[in-house]
Amino acid sequence: MAIKIYKPTSAGRRHGTVLDFAEELTRSTPEKSLLRPLRKTGGRNNHGHQTSRWRGGGHKRMYRVIDFKRQKDGVPGKVVSIEYDPNRSANIALVQYADGEKTYVLAAVGVHVGQTLMNGDKAEPNVGNCLPLANIPVGLEIHNIEMQEGRGGQMCRTAGTAAQLTAKEGDWAILLMPSGEVRRIHLRCRATIGRIGNLDWQNVSIGKAGRHRHMGRRPHVRGTTMNPVDHPLGGGEGRTKGGRHPCNFKGQKAKGLKTRKKNHPTDRFIVRSRHKV
């Protein structure tokens, strides 16, 4: 998908770029049966306490129900359209199975209208098909990877990402993740062949603050500009550097502090960390 640049008719338009949706998308209205209401939180939890800052506003959205499990085995599905999803960076494909059921799946590079997709053990290792890791040839790129059998794809769901199946050892597959991490996944877990589409998503320049407000992102304020009552780095006569190591408003170190929990449930599956030793 190409990047579109407009004439600089204003300061915000000068540096902003957008995706040329006309190249890839084939339908502008979503499938109504697969829409669900999506309520905004404004960064508040069920008690009304703010747990995520700088969130609020934004354009109203409807959630598209995505089939991450791909458990409809042995039934061919035809790609009806490629659509935009405001809730994720990747585009989605509307698939209609032979029995009439319709689902949304993540659109991989090369998936086009009219293509037939298959799920299950007997599916061919073609782009867009979903099958267990045991049936996928070594060396292929995969996405929408399950971490537990039957739970649905959880890894590699962002636009332009894919993991590589590098080896199989006993009951485990060895995957090279986009971050550089090497991880073990059980061979019974499923994955989809190919790389997620919409590759140019990461090259788009927002251009102005208003576009972030449309996405529900409010202005991010630096701690050094706040008052001492609001932030440990705030206060002082004139502009200061904070007088201490960078931290968040609770005093937690912002650079170099490890926040991952000890004995994380999936740590035992990591063969090589993504961090430099």
pLDDT tens digits, one per residue of 24-50: 899 999 999 999 999 999 999 999 999
Where residue 220 falls (left for φ over 0; alpha for ψ -120 to 50; beta otherwise) is: beta
Give the number of other CB atoms < 10 A from CB of residue 12: 14
* Stretch 192-220: mean pLDDT: 95
Per-residue b or e along 78-109, where b marks 16 or more CB atoms closer than 10 Å to that residue's CB: ebbbbbbbeebebbbbbbbeeeeeebbbbbbb
pLDDT at 179 over 80: yes
In percent, the amount of the chain with pLDDT more than 90 equals: 91
Q: How many CA atoms lie within 13 A of 2 on its CB side?
A: 5
% of the chain surpassing 70 pLDDT: 100
pLDDT digits (tens, 9 = 90+) for 220-254: 999 999 999 999 999 999 999 989 999 999 999 99
Q: Give the confidence band of 91 by pLDDT, cuts at 50, 70, 90.
A: very high
- Summarize the confidence of residues 63-84 as an average pLDDT: 96
What does the pLDDT average to over 250-262? 90
Tell me the average pLDDT across 126-138.
97
Asked if residues 83 and 45 have their Cβ atoms less than 8 Å apart, the reply is no
Question: Whole-prediction pTM value?
Answer: 0.91
Query: By the 8 A CB rule, do 9 and 15 touch?
Result: no
Place of tokens 């037939």: 116
| Out of 68-77, 166-175, 259-268, least confident range | 259-268
Predicted confidence at residue 262, as pLDDT, reads 87
Give the pLDDT mean for 3-17.
93
Distance set, CA 66 to CA 15, 93, 104, 237, 273 (Å): 33, 9, 5, 53, 30
pLDDT at residue 1 tops 80: no
Confidence bin at 205 (pLDDT 50/70/90): very high
pLDDT in tens, 144-160: 999 999 999 999 999 99
For residue 22, pLDDT over 90 is answered with no
pLDDT on residue 277: 63
Determine the average pLDDT of the residues in 61-75. 96
- What domains sit in the chain, N to C, each tagged with a CATH number? 19-202 (2.40.50.140)
What confidence score (pLDDT) does residue 190 get?
Answer: 97
